Amino acid sequence: MITFLKQYFTDIYEAIVSLLKGMKLTGYYFTHHKEIITQEYPENRATLNLPERFRGEVVMPHDENNEHACTGCSACELACPNGTIKILNKFEVNAEGKKKKAIDTFVYHLELCTMCNLCIVACPTDAIKMAQTFEHSVFDRSLLTKKLNQPNSKLREGIE
Amino acid sequence: MFEQVSANNNGELVINVGPQHPATHGVLHLLITLHGETVTKLEPNLGYIHRSIEKMCESLSYRQFIYTTSRMDYLSSHINNHACALGVEKAMQIEIPERAEYIRVLMSELTRLASHQLWWGAMAMDLGALSPFFYAFREREVINDIMEETCGARLTMNYFVPGGVMYDIHPNFVKRVKDFIVLFKSKIAEYDELVTGNVIFQNRMKNIGIISKEDAISYGCTGPTARGSGVSCDVRKNYPYSIYKNVQFDEVLEYGCDAFSRYQVRIKEMYQSVRIIEQLIDQIPEGEFQAKTKAVIKLPKGEFYTRVETARGELGVYIVSEGGTTPYRIKFRSPGFSNLSALEHMVKGHKIGDLVAIMGVLDLVIPDIDR
């Protein structure tokens, strides 16, 4: 009976000691505010620093002359596993009277995109890239279907 | 399938745990028959997050199907991608550059660390301790930042491609990983202090969820679940892939067969992962990070099986090819499914309060079970 009681109280003592050990650690972090690394997200939006490779959405960069590098080869369309990209081509007649293929509309369905990066890797002319934007919520689903090439944009000279 | 909460003639009570329950970590539905407080029967009911990934893979090319596997066991997405990339490379019979192998193993081990950290935090939270969850996420965030910088994503990376890796590592990668190792070594002592050494926690975990070595083998358990029962089943050690044969590390085995042994296996595995990273981080060779492959991958006719060790156990990828650009059939042998099948054996005869502890230590990821 006495050994049982002794064991009983030893167990309680040990449990309390180990509990206090853990409490010491939580107490340490409670009193050391510098170790807290929580970021307050909507407030720190201006200082958010996302890495260069972050995959937010597919964009097509245009230069100051409103020119892009997309030849309309459809490599990205074939590489995409979800049918996110749809390229509609048109034929332009150039100065020498030759017909040349060019993109009419580069349709990008953001709602289907899984950010797998396969289209970027597949592109032979680096015409598309991933942007660092990530706040994609909209009230209407149709707003997520985007046209990536800007109106009246042209293919940059020298890209085949 | 949906039985009401009801008492039958033997005085047994049937209750539903899930599909929406915080302790199941996802949409897992358990039908539990109780006699008083004791569990007499447990029946998992699956299918709530079935996305038919295997069927989807049949219409995707060998480059495209890899990204779907990140969505299976999302906590070890790199390792899942590794399994698929290995399978395709085995069928194509190509050698991949050594630099890519080093990057792959480093990434896999970082993923394993991140996965075990999340498991540790979530399991302690299930048992009622909330602070470990935040401490675990604090370190996991550092790994996620490293991943984000090199791979561009935090969870579903799709970084491994047939022939190597998608990008070269970021210039900051080596330095940041070294900083993380220093940080993590000081923090893992806190894990032990806070949870492992706690007598209340030990009393809750010891002698519950017992599964013997023979039962663990016959249920097909793998990973820390089986190694907690003394089954040597580490694929990295027994059937080394990639450069694991050149790396010094121990296969962690515990012989207690209970939930606490499985807990200890995972904690000790973190130390082993750190050991692997430390060996490799200074020796990443220069060179190509991706082997030259054709734009359209065609596999020869045949059947190919590869397996890797994920954070939860053995993942097998079985590819049947008919010589085309898409697989004829793909089967994933996921570790979570087999481990879940042993749950009834572990829980039977224990109190319902222990169910949460046993399930927490199994580290179930439901999308991995349901695919």
3-class DSSP assignment, residue B210: coil
Per-residue pLDDT of B73-102, as tens digits, reads 888 888 999 998 888 888 888 888 888 889
The single-letter code of the amino acid at B290 is Q
Per-residue pLDDT of A72-87, as tens digits, reads 888 888 888 888 888 8
- Residues 132-191 of chain B with CB under 8 A from chain A are 135, 138, 141, 148-153, 156, 158, 161, 166-167, 170, 190
Tell me the pLDDT band of A125, cut-offs 50, 70 and 90.
Answer: confident
Q: Is pLDDT of B9 > 70?
A: no
- Residues 67-126 of chain B with CB under 8 A from chain A are 67-68
Mean of pLDDT over chain A: 83
> pLDDT value at position A139?
92
| Closest CA relative to residue B74, chosen from B44, B114, B103 | B114
> φ, ψ for residue B297 (rounded to 5)?
-90, 125
A36 or B366: whose pLDDT is higher? B366
Residues contacting B326, CB < 8 A, separation 6+: B58, B59, B60, B61, B62
Q: What is the torsional sign of CA B146, B147, B151, B152?
A: negative
Q: Is pLDDT of B5 > 60?
A: no
Per-residue pLDDT of B105-143, as tens digits, reads 999 999 999 999 899 988 888 888 788 888 888 888 888
Nearest residue on chain A to B130, alpha-carbon basis: A26
**Domain boundary assignment for chain B:** 50-366
CA atoms of B186 and B188, how far apart (whole Å): 6
Q: What is the dotted CATH code of the domain comprising A54-155?
A: 3.30.70.3270
Per-residue pLDDT of B226-272, as tens digits, reads 888 888 888 888 888 888 888 888 888 888 888 888 898 988 888 99
Q: What is the dotted CATH code of the domain comprising B50-366?
A: 1.10.645.10
User: The complex's ipTM?
Assistant: 0.78
| Closest CA relative to residue A76, chosen from A67, A90, A86, A68 | A86
3-class DSSP assignment, residue A94: coil
Residues of chain B with Cβ-Cβ distance to A57 below 8 Å are none
Verify whether the Cβ–Cβ distance A121 to B166 is below 8 Å.
yes
**Domain boundary assignment for chain A:** 2-35, 54-155
Residues contacting B234, CB < 8 A, separation 6+: B227, B251, B309
In sequence order, the β-bridge partners of residue A57 are: A131
Residues of chain A with Cβ-Cβ distance to B129 below 8 Å are 22
Nearest residue on chain A to B150, alpha-carbon basis: A53
> φ, ψ for residue B162 (rounded to 5)?
-55, 120
Residues contacting B233, CB < 8 A, separation 6+: B222, B223, B226, B227, B313, B314
For residue B206 the two structure tokens come to 């010891």
Question: Once rounded to an integer, what is the mean pLDDT over residues B38-62?
Answer: 88
| Closest CA relative to residue A113, chosen from A72, A59, A53 | A59
What angle separates helix B98-126 from helix B131-151, to the nearest 10 degrees? 160
Q: Is pLDDT of B1 > 50?
A: no
| DSSP string over A4-45 | HHHHHHHHHHHHHHHHHHHHHHHHHHHH-GGG-----TGGGG
- Residue pair B259/B347 in contact (Cβ under 8 Å)? The answer is no
Q: How many helices (H) and strands (E) does chain B have?
A: 15, 9
Calculated CA dihedral for residues A33, A34, A36, A41, nearest 10 degrees: 100
In sequence order, the β-bridge partners of residue B36 are: none
Contact B329/A at CB under 8 A: no
Strands of B251-322 (E only): list them.
302-309, 314-321
Q: 């990209």: which residue's tokens?
A: A85
- Window from A155-159, B32-36, B61-65, B332-336 with minimum mean pLDDT: A155-159
